[in-house]
Amino acid sequence: MPALHAFANPARFLKIARPLTPVLFWAGAALALFGAYSGLVLTPPDYLQKETVRILYIHVPSAWLGMGAWSGIAISSLMYLVWRHPLSNLAARAIAPAGAVFAALCLITGSIWGRPTWGTWWEWDGRLTSMLLLFFVYIAYIALARADADRGGDGRVPALFGVAGSVLLPIIRYSVVWWNTLHQGQSIGLTSSTIDRSMIWPLFFTLGGFTLFFGGIVLMRMRAMLAAQKVEARMRRMAQ
């Protein structure tokens, strides 16, 4: 617990975040570009889906981060509710826009992939519908957090919403098991995969690259928000 409180100190956080931000950002961008290039050029087409399958190198990392980002919001919100660390609330607010972008990218790439595979751009099945709901929950959280900040709220309402919204995550995860769906089942597990080795290896680069890139974006946003708070506090002192 003392280590957690020490890391929650904005000064110590910034000391770590400043050098870490460009490392995560550029390393993530490089890995993602290499993985995307490899998936588009170096891997063979799928025997059934042909060239269409190559969109998985973008779709899967987007789905992973669309869900993973809300996990980050929920954890940060819970930490804020329990320990009242302002940095936790800041982290949740910084994560939300990036998570919304990846959730939207997941829906867009899934729709593009579904058109030649399923014969339709959209199907109201469990996986697609629950992911769309998560995107709307992102938008609602962003609006709620902004409204709370504008009226001088203490951040508890957005934090409660952040924790409550996590109920969608297991629904998305197990939707292909609980309901009949056009969406394929789980292709990658902890110990096995239904994707051939000749096709799956670039996916690990895009997964890692997008994740590092996401981390760099979140740290960048947190630093900008802390700087804005510092400027706002200074302006208030000058106005007195």
Summarize the confidence of residues 219-233 as an average pLDDT.
Answer: 87
pLDDT of residue 188: 63
Rg value, the chain, Cα: 20
State how far the alpha carbon of 127 is from the alpha carbons of 80, 168, 222, 237, in Å: 30, 11, 31, 51
CA angle 47, 105, 186 (to 5 degrees): 45
Q: What pTM was computed for the model? A: 0.89
Higher pLDDT, 168 or 190: 168
Half-sphere exposure of 198 (CA within 13 A, CB side): 7
pLDDT of residue 194: 61
212 within 8 A of 27, measured Cβ to Cβ? yes
2 pLDDT band, cuts 50/70/90, is very low
Q: Exposed, middle or buried by CB within 10 Å (0-12, 13-18, 19+), for 97?
A: middle
Backbone angles phi, psi at 193, to 5 degrees: -150, 145
Summarize the confidence of residues 169-193 as an average pLDDT.
Answer: 69
pLDDT of residue 71: 96
Summarize the confidence of residues 57-66 as an average pLDDT.
Answer: 94
76 within 8 A of 91, measured Cβ to Cβ? yes
Summarize the confidence of residues 224-234 as an average pLDDT.
Answer: 82
CATH 1.20.5, domain 22-40+51-183+199-239, yes or no? no
Mean of per-residue pLDDT scores for the chain? 87
Mean pLDDT lowest among 5-14, 162-171, 195-204, 210-219: 5-14
pLDDT of residue 191: 52
Summarize the confidence of residues 132-157 as an average pLDDT.
Answer: 94
Domain edges within the chain: 22-40+51-183+199-239
Higher pLDDT, 137 or 47: 137
